[in-house]
Structure 1
Amino acid sequence: MSAEEDNESPNENKMVHAFCGVVIFYIDKEWVLREHVLNLIPLDGDHSGRLVGKLIFQRLKKDNIAGSLLTSAADHASSNGPLNWTVARKCAALYPEMASMRNIQIGCGGHCTNLVAQKITGTLGISPKPEEIDLYNEAHKSPLVYDSAVDSLVIQEMELMAKEAKSESKNASGDSDTDSDIEEVGSGGSSSEDASNSEYEEDVGSDDDWVEAHLAWKKVKGAKKKKALKIFTPVDKASHLRHPVYSNSSPVYRFTQSQSTFYALKSSGKPPGD
């Protein structure tokens, strides 16, 4: 039999329950692969991998299947490493003729899948045999297995998208000049629409230009919409509703009806603006 374990704990701020799920796999006498949920173990207090591993082993031993365990799989979560190691160690100590700590642990299902696929393709002569070269490990020696920036098909698609976005932005810029009243605010404080439109009139010269062109097209598309209302914070509302009137060099604040309403809402506990 093979076992697969995993822990599930909700967000700490909303944690109500925590469980460990155990699923076993085996081939029956009819050569049919079976999958069976063995247990859903509630976890209280200590969620360490060693403690959960002991609970899993106790259930395997109770069902008389600890001696039949060939593999114990878990993902690479921080607690699943000690969990898997504990299950493997206890099974190997109890049934040394059936299990070994070195062979029983499987931490990455992707590697196992790749080994099976390479075994098939190696037998067909399409790839090296896994006993000679492990292609999974060879691929992971590189810092980045796949880089879209050097993929010719991806580059062609990005260039095409950049051209289409640039064409759309030029066609829409003429319509947006007459009915646009949106003012884009940048990191420097403010910027005009003409300045923002100039960004997407540049030629595509790098891999990231299509992103800028697409964003510029979205800006022009949004320019046709009405100007969005500014959302005032309570501080902004208080400062705008108070009008200083100077008399004999001493400022006297005259409160309008809106200012009175503001403080009435504030004293009632309702957020200003509702």
Structure 2
Amino acid sequence: MLNNFFDKLKSGLSKTRNNLTDKVNELFKLAITIDEDLYEELEEILITSDIGMETTENIIEKLKDKIRQEKISDPEALMPCLKEVIREMMDENALEEEDSFPKVSLIIGVNGVGKTTSIGKIAFRYKNEGKKVILAAGDTFRAAAIDQLEIWGDRAGVQLVKHQEGSDPAAVVYDAIQAAKARKADILICDTAGRLHNKKNLMNELSKINKIIDREFSEAKKETLLVLDGTTGQNAIIQAKQFMDVCPIDGIILTKLDGTAKGGVVISIKSTLNIPVKYIGVGEGVDDLQKFDSKAFADALF
């Protein structure tokens, strides 16, 4: 199973690897000494792989420290060093928390990032682990969202609570909580409307939903996960910051990494926002949304 996961991750990150790792490998192989020129070239490669300016500078500083500490003088020894630095950055302040149930997952993100698909895939994962899952169709704003979620619910074999289009999302969540309690569900996954251009509305909507969860289902552990599209690179970070203005975020779901050379954004997200990446999407299949593992990610990337 783990091997299968690693193979998927590796093939999913192939475009990023071709863009990033091959260039870094070539740079280290051709280098004669470890000097400022080498660091400058490395910096350029990292920035063009969507790791971002701030994170790149951070990586270079940490790499220089490591080289000093370990007294490395051979450029060929730089690759394992770089991999280690990136892995350590991904693990910084990461608390491996146990999944506790009952749980409510609030899924937020703009339209088109793969929010509904991600909900379906997470539901499928939990169902396969023997958990009882209920979905709440809280994106009542977009007609197709309810239908799409219903298709995913059927595919994953889980129940869906829905109202008609245009109804109050908080009312949907309220009914879904009652259903989750009555049916002794382990996890309730709530979809939300993906409109960020109207921040005020979104803020009001989310705070109303959160109040209902706190009041009606206080015994459940609550998490808010933000879905971002990996193909948008650094723009994903700008989007995340906008959502962070609206509500606290517990984790990131990064989709469509298999279709992009910008997988370096994973490192940037962790370093810039200090929010853990919980899941990454590396394919179209129902089991292609993988729990994020920093070691596997660094290994697959390099």
Q: Which has the higher contact order (CA 8 A, sep 6+)?
A: 2
Query: So what's the TM-score if we normalise by structure 1?
Result: 0.27
Query: So what's the TM-score if we normalise by structure 2?
Result: 0.25
Q: Would you tell me which structure has more helix in proportion to its own residues?
A: 2
Larger Rg: 1
